Amino acid sequence: MINAAVFVVGVALLSAFVLSVFNKWGWIEWAQVHTDGLIYEMLTCRFCLSFWTAILICLIYAIFTGVWIAMLAPVFSCNLTKWIW
């Protein structure tokens, strides 16, 4: 149980770091300017950005390790990421 909590916090911290870097480099703002509709709405929502970033991180982790239960972590880590970022 502790391992799962540490994994969720780790995913949240890594996701917040990635989003901070993307925001600093202006990639999020660039994508907001060049999109419209649903994608624009998702790019302006911090919750959506944190969820999809965590999904990508966990997907990469699951592909390399074969631990597919890790795909549940974004459900719990996106609220932490939104709070941290």
Q: Supply the mean pLDDT for the chain.
A: 93
Q: What are phi and psi for residue 35, nearest 5 degrees?
A: -130, 170
DSSP 26: T
Provide, for the chain, the percentages of residues in helix, strand and coil under a 3-state DSSP scheme, each rounded to the nearest 5: 90, 0, 10
**Residue 22 tokens, joined:** 């993307």
Residues 18-38, mean pLDDT to the nearest whole number: 94
pLDDT bin (cut points 50, 70, 90) of residue 83 is confident
**pLDDT above 80: residue 18:** yes
Separation of alpha carbons 22 and 73, rounded Å: 21
Answering whether pTM is above 0.75, one says: yes
**pLDDT above 80: residue 61:** yes
pLDDT bin (cut points 50, 70, 90) of residue 84 is confident
Separation of alpha carbons 54 and 27, rounded Å: 17
Separation of alpha carbons 62 and 29, rounded Å: 29
